[in-house]
């Protein structure tokens, strides 16, 4: 099927339906958008059971802002109303085809189960290493609550050090306008700290597997 133009009035209804929906955020003045356009159009013709939508970010600036579009082209892929892919940049045909195949092959019952488990963990103040790494790369506030000798031996880059036993008198040093990611060695002490901080109104998250898990991944430590 050919691509369809999406507007603020039709966007939500389109992406929340059953099946796979791909959305290309583009603009007429954008060179990479013009490069990706024919690739997107060809994929729509080759996959008639999938909805291929296009959003003109110049005509739909409010929609683009609500979608968090910062660079174009940006491609989003939804299946059964769930956002599964969100990436900026013009994809070559093979890469786009691979993404579509992966979306087709997904067990959506398992995807929904994992999403539900992740949501419950987040509500309880728990984050895995992958999500923490993404937050860390974005400049998240990291609080290391281990003892001095542990911190000196190696810590997550940029972590702020406040030993667990000192924290009750130093809570005022923590930000209240952003999440605080609390880390220790393996997640035990930091879990206790997160529980305490949440009673103080601080949006805190425990980093599962802690600094040991970070190091086991081969990720860098500061000393």
Write the CATH number for 14: 3.40.30.10
User: What is the spatial distance between Cα 197 and Cα 162, in angstroms, rounded to a whole number?
Assistant: 13
125 and 99 in a common domain:
no
Domain membership flag for residue 111: no
Stretch (H or E) spanning 144:
strand 141-144
69 and 130 in a common domain:
no
Helices marked H in the chain — which ranges? 11-15, 31-46, 61-66, 93-105, 108-123, 129-137, 148-153, 188-199, 210-216
* Active site residue ranges: 30, 33
Are 106 and 145 within 8 A, CB to CB? no
Print burial letters for 187-223: b (CB count within 10 Å at least 16), e (below 16).
Answer: bebbbebbebbeeeebebbbbbbbbebbbeeeeeeee
125 and 100 in a common domain:
no
- pTM (predicted TM-score): 0.59
Domain membership flag for residue 113: no
50 and 9 in a common domain:
yes
Domain, as residue range, for 68 = 4-106
202 and 137 in a common domain:
yes
The number of domains in the chain is: 2
- Determine the pLDDT at residue 120: 67
Domain membership flag for residue 203: yes
Stretch (H or E) spanning 83:
strand 82-88
| Domain boundary residue, one of 76, 106, 136 | 106
Write the CATH number for 211: 3.40.250.10
The list of the chain residues with pLDDT below 70 reads 1, 116-122
Domain membership flag for residue 114: no
Please write the tens of the pLDDT for every residue from 185-210.
999 999 999 999 999 989 999 999 99
Domain membership flag for residue 125: yes
């Amino acid at each position: 099927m050919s691509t369809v133009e999406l507007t603020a009035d039709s966007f939500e209804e389109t992406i929340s339906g059953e099946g796979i929906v791909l959305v290309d955020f583009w603009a007429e003045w954008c060179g990479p958008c013009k490069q990706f356009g024919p690739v997107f159009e060809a994929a729509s013709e080759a996959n008639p059971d999938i909805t291929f939508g296009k959003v003109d970010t110049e005509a739909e600036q409010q929609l683009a802002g609500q979608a968090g579009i910062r660079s174009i082209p940006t491609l989003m892929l939804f299946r059964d109303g769930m956002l599964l892919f969100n990436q900026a940049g013009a994809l070559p045909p093979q890469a786009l085809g691979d993404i579509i195949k992966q979306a087709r092959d997904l067990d959506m019952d398992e995807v929904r189960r994992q999403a539900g488990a992740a949501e419950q963990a987040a509500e309880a103040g728990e984050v895995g290493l992958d999500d923490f790494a993404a937050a860390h790369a974005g400049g998240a506030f990291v609080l290391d609550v281990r003892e001095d000798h542990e911190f000196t031996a190696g810590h997550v880059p940029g972590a702020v050090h406040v030993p667990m036993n000192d924290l009750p008198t130093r809570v005022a040093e923590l930000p209240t306008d952003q999440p605080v990611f609390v880390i220790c060695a393996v997640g035990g002490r930091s879990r206790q700290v997160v529980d305490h901080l949440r009673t103080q109104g601080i949006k805190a998250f425990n980093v599962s597997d802690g600094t040991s898990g970070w190091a086991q991944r081969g990720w860098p430590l500061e000393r």
